Amino acid sequence: MASAAEELDAVVVGAGFAGLYMLHRLRGQGLSVKVFEAGADVGGTWYWNRYPGARCDVDSLNYSYSFDPDLEQDWEWTEKYASQPEIHAYLRHVADRHDLRRDIVLRTRVTAAVFDEDTARWTVRTDGGHEVSARFCIMATGCLSTPKFPEVPGLERFSGPWYHTARWPEDDPGFRGQRLGVIGTGSSGVQAIPFLAGQASELTVFQRTPNFVFPAFNGPIDRSVVAETKAHYREARTAARHSLFGVAMDMPTQSALEVSDDERRAVYQECWDRGHVFALVQSFTDLIFDAGSNETAAEFLREKVRDRVDDPELARKLEPRGYPFATKRPCLDTGYYETYNREHVHLVDLREEDLVEITAKGVLTTEREYEFDSLVIATGFDAMTGALLAVDIRGRDGVALRDKWRDGPETYLGVAVAGFPNLFTITGPGSPSVFGNMIVSIEQHVEWIGDLVDHMARHDRSVVEAVDTAEKEWTEHVRAVSDATLLPRADSFYLGANVPGKPRVFMPYVGGVGPYRAKCDEVAGNGYEGFVLR
Ligand code: N01
């Protein structure tokens, strides 16, 4: 254990993609840094989400660090979309390659961070009894890291074992021959269900909202694409950084309503065949702006459900309806719908019967009790703010972040908060974050924060704080940009709508990864306008 009030330049909370690179970056700038990580290993998301079938929905060559050109060349991805074990192995490799582990304290959760105005330092405390003092406190806690559980009571009464997809045990439990219940059909459920169906003797899925799901067409990585990308990685990375979603793609030029039905179908089919989450979203200019255009894509995808599911009544239940396409994160699948053609797989439509409680034997709905040997909870996350507010963060005048954000998060650029000097939130609310390729957004924030810290050192400044008016303007801009789209029309985790009582505020910045980067660069170029440096 660290000695009381060990003095550091920076504390980083979390050792996932963001925390590892932040440590590397600040250490390279000569700062003393310590990382606290709750998990038993580095990896963040890719440590915790080890459920069967877990894999990335951004292609491997894009979902990787760009900061180390040698790593980029050395590392060999095996699949188009990497699995959890492969991404975890990659992050473990990065930690070793850059000798990061010596400054990472594992199995240790940060519980509080308090700013002292007299010393202009943060005191950071952990559940392991650490107390450290640091000039900078950097939250690399991830956007999807605080699990959300079903609201109904009784989970503790269930007599069998249960597992949340985001807290999967290191030793995979396996469900061979068991009656298994799964609650939730977001990306985690959609990925896990085909694998779980391969184990369980009876699998029952409780679906509240059917998702838009299309095939990943995953497989061994195309070696010619690898060679081509590696030969031009710098250009590819630059293009990704300036793109809409952090993955370089051709920009559409037409509305979905400007073309004939046949042309539109051909475009959708081509995107479908690519098995790419953003391709379909970006196939026409107006899919996330115009309900009529959006409906054409939605109907195309519903038709595919009908093609893939044998029983028409079951297909009807699985067809996504009631919210526009892409207003909840669409899912990439491998055999998801086909799984429902298997005799031992059953669907309970929670729009027709409500969940009442978890009982000792299983799940009680308004229709009947379903009995299970084990349960899988795939109900997602308290997204974006959950992990930040889990820590008791107190800024100037002892103000708690939990109080400041009572009506929803307010940030300047999603990276800083007025009243909380020298605190940074990597991919915080108000930045593109979950609305694109996380790694591109993480690297951008890490580098921007690193540059700011360097700027402060060169200009003999020790404290930086977002200005209240700049924060208000940015928060309003984030809201206005999302309000111009269809995105707030779904009860999504982007809006906090999946967590009862959470303020209904659209959290990611949806103006695009490239334009957002340009804005951050402009702020820095103008001497960090919107910040006070003391
Ligand atoms: O979580 P989710 P997730 N009773 O919130 C349902 C990333 N990710 O873990 O839609 C019954 O999407 C809920 O229903 P509803 C990715 O960004 C990426 O699956 O709220 N059901 C929904 O069906 C993704 O978007 C990958 O009505 C309840 C499900 O549970 C994000 O993580 C893989 C319920 C939760 O879906 C979150 O995905 C996995 C209740 N009380 C995750 N509460 C990649 O591929 C919730 N639900 C990279």
Residue 129 confidence class, pLDDT cut points 50, 70, 90: very high
Taking the centre of ligand 1 as the mean of its atom positions, its distance from the CA of residue 147, in whole angstroms, is 10
Residue 383 has pLDDT above 90, yes or no: yes
Taking the centre of ligand 1 as the mean of its atom positions, its distance from the CA of residue 183, in whole angstroms, is 10
Residue 2 confidence class, pLDDT cut points 50, 70, 90: very low
pLDDT at res. 1: 45
Residue 16 has pLDDT above 50, yes or no: yes
Structure tokens at 219: 């497989």
**How far is CA 41 from its chain centroid?**
19
Neighbours of 94 (CB within 10 A): 22
Q: Residues 278-304: what's their mean pLDDT? A: 97
From 182, 208, 354, mutation site for ligand 1 pocket: most ligand atoms within 8 A of C-beta: 208
Taking the centre of ligand 1 as the mean of its atom positions, its distance from the CA of residue 35, in whole angstroms, is 28
Structure tokens at 186: 């977001």
Q: Residues 324-330: what's their mean pLDDT? A: 97
Whose C-alpha lies nearest to ligand 1, atom 46? 379
Taking the centre of ligand 1 as the mean of its atom positions, its distance from the CA of residue 378, in whole angstroms, is 6
Residue 3 has pLDDT above 60, yes or no: no
CATH placement of domain 148-211+328-380? 3.50.50.60
Whose C-alpha lies nearest to ligand 1, atom 37? 380
Q: Residues 442-460: what's their mean pLDDT? A: 98
- Domain locations in the chain as residue ranges: 7-146+383-533, 148-211+328-380
From 163, 188, 247, mutation site for ligand 1 pocket: most ligand atoms within 8 A of C-beta: 188
Alpha helices by DSSP H, listed for 249-378, are 261-274, 277-281, 291-308, 312-318, 336-339
- Ligand 1 contacts CB of residue 184 (under 6 A): yes
User: What percent of the chain clears pLDDT 90, i.e. is strictly above it?
Assistant: 99
- Ligand 1 contacts CB of residue 320 (under 6 A): no
- Ligand 1 contacts CB of residue 379 (under 6 A): yes
Q: Is the pTM of this model over 0.95?
A: yes
Q: What is the pLDDT of residues 424-438, one digit of tens each?
A: 999 999 999 999 999
- Ligand 1 nearest atom to the CA of residue 144, by list position: 32
Taking the centre of ligand 1 as the mean of its atom positions, its distance from the CA of residue 59, in whole angstroms, is 20
Taking the centre of ligand 1 as the mean of its atom positions, its distance from the CA of residue 244, in whole angstroms, is 23
- Ligand 1 contacts CB of residue 151 (under 6 A): yes
User: Beta-strand (E) ranges in 345-486?
Assistant: 345-349, 355-358, 362-365, 369-371, 374-377, 392-394, 423-425, 464-466
- Ligand 1 nearest atom to the CA of residue 190, by list position: 19
- Ligand 1 contacts CB of residue 186 (under 6 A): yes
Taking the centre of ligand 1 as the mean of its atom positions, its distance from the CA of residue 80, in whole angstroms, is 23
Q: What is the pLDDT of residues 167-206, one digit of tens each?
A: 999 999 999 999 999 999 999 999 999 999 999 999 999 9
Tell me the DSSP string of 197-248.
HTT-SEEEEEESSPPPEEE----B--HHHHHHHHHTHHHHHHHHHTSSSSS-
CATH placement of domain 7-146+383-533? 3.50.50.60
Euclidean distance between CA atoms 323 and 326, whole angstroms: 9
Judged on CB neighbours under 10 Å (0-12, 13-18, 19+), 35 is buried
Taking the centre of ligand 1 as the mean of its atom positions, its distance from the CA of residue 331, in whole angstroms, is 10
Residue 33 confidence class, pLDDT cut points 50, 70, 90: very high
- Ligand 1 contacts CB of residue 216 (under 6 A): no
Euclidean distance between CA atoms 114 and 133, whole angstroms: 9
Q: Residues 56-82: what's their mean pLDDT? A: 98
- Ligand 1 contacts CB of residue 209 (under 6 A): yes
- Ligand 1 contacts CB of residue 329 (under 6 A): yes
- Ligand 1 nearest atom to the CA of residue 56, by list position: 48
User: What percent of the chain clears pLDDT 70, i.e. is strictly above it?
Assistant: 99
Structure tokens at 281: 């979203």
- Ligand 1 nearest atom to the CA of residue 187, by list position: 19
Euclidean distance between CA atoms 340 and 349, whole angstroms: 13
Q: Residues 461-478: what's their mean pLDDT? A: 98
- Ligand 1 nearest atom to the CA of residue 54, by list position: 33
CB 301 within 8 A of CB 211: no
Residue 78 has pLDDT above 80, yes or no: yes
How high does pLDDT run on average in the chain? 97
Fold match between 7-146+383-533 and 148-211+328-380?
yes
Whose C-alpha lies nearest to ligand 1, atom 36? 186
Taking the centre of ligand 1 as the mean of its atom positions, its distance from the CA of residue 379, in whole angstroms, is 5
Q: What is the pLDDT of residues 230-278, one digit of tens each?
A: 999 999 999 999 999 999 999 999 999 999 999 999 999 999 999 998 9
- Ligand 1 contacts CB of residue 508 (under 6 A): no
**How far is CA 114 from its chain centroid?**
26
Residue 4 confidence class, pLDDT cut points 50, 70, 90: low
Alpha helices by DSSP H, listed for 108-165, are none
Taking the centre of ligand 1 as the mean of its atom positions, its distance from the CA of residue 297, in whole angstroms, is 21
